[in-house]
């Protein structure tokens, strides 16, 4: 699978896309799926406090049943250990920190992408951001293994511009880091050619899933998921949950977390029927 140039990627308005629930057998074209999902906004609703984004027992059971019939991976901006603890299922793969840290069954654990070199810069930038943003109400500066997340969902509107200006100024001090925008979040990430789409490609190759009888599905809701949607165009299927502020490279949509669960349940049944 090759990265597509941005000019070659087709983008759409999310509200114009067909529902992924309408015809799952037609969506699969007789192939077995390999399923990749973001966590926040897909498996658990977006909440003001990221630590309260708890997976429901029903969604956990749905994931467990799906993983019994096809490969399933959670690809998140969260730390890998954090998202694995939230999901609590041993038969899934986990790609944390936007794919810089990957684990899975049979003792799989690797950190592709070369992000370790950026750790000192992340540590320094985190300390500077904490100091410079401390007087902004509602801000949360979260140091992850391979990223810093500046959450501003709870910041008053009249302070957001200043927060973003300060964050951009700090990013500019460190050539080892780059900006990663999202929903009410600004991230500082290693300035490397690695993202969720690269992580999906790595997993497909590592797990020997680049086969004509397998179709990768990626379900995500955020701007960071667009890399995976774009990577899979023409090779797999992107499904956006809800919408964000830009056009999407996904081909289908789902409305919310409840619709994701319904889709995964129906997908499990279709795969069982195909067997």
Q: List residues with catalytic annotation.
A: 38
> Which residues, in sequence order, are CB contacts of 257 under 8 Å at separation 6+?
41, 42, 43, 44, 45, 59, 241
Tokens standing for residue 209? 């899933």
Tokens standing for residue 40? 């926040």
Could you tell me how far CA 216 lies from the centroid of its own chain?
15
Candidates 107, 66, 73; CA nearest to 205 is 73
Quickly count: other Cβ atoms within 10 Å of residue 161's Cβ. Answer: 9
Tokens standing for residue 260? 């994701």
Q: What are the E-state strand segments in 78-176?
A: 93-96, 101-104, 108-110, 140-143, 148-151
> Which residues, in sequence order, are CB contacts of 89 under 8 Å at separation 6+?
60, 63, 64, 67
Sheet of strand 177-182: strand arrangement: 140-143, 148-151, 185-190, 177-182
Tokens standing for residue 210? 């680049």
């Amino acid at each position: 699978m090759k990265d597509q140039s941005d000019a070659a990627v087709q983008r759409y308005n999310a509200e114009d896309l067909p529902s992924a629930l309408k015809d799952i057998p037609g969506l699969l074209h007789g192939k077995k799926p390999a399923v990749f999902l973001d966590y926040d906004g897909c498996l658990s609703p977006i909440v003001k406090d990221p630590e309260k984004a708890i997976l429901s027992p029903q969604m956990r059971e749905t994931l467990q049943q799906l993983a019994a019939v096809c490969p399933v991976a959670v690809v998140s901006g969260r730390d890998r250990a954090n998202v694995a603890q939230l999901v609590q299922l041993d038969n899934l793969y986990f790609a944390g920190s936007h794919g810089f840290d990957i684990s899975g069954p049979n003792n799989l654990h690797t950190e592709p992408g070369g992000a370790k070199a950026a750790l000192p810069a992340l540590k320094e930038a985190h300390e500077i951001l904490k100091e410079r943003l401390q007087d902004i109400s509602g801000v949360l500066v979260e140091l992850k293994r391979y990223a810093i997340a500046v959450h501003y969902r709870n910041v008053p509107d009249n302070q957001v511009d200043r927060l973003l200006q300060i964050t951009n100024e700090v990013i500019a001090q460190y050539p080892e880091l780059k900006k990663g925008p999202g929903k009410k979040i600004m991230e500082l990430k290693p300035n490397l050619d690695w993202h969720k789409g690269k992580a999906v490609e790595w997993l497909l190759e590592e797990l020997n899933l680049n086969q004509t009888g397998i179709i990768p599905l990626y379900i995500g809701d955020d701007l960071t998921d667009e890399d995976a949607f774009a990577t899979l165009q023409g090779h797999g299927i992107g499904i956006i949950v809800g919408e964000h502020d830009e056009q999407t490279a996904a081909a289908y949509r789902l409305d919310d977390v409840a619709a994701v669960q319904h889709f995964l349940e129906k997908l499990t049944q279709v795969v069982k029927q195909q067997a």
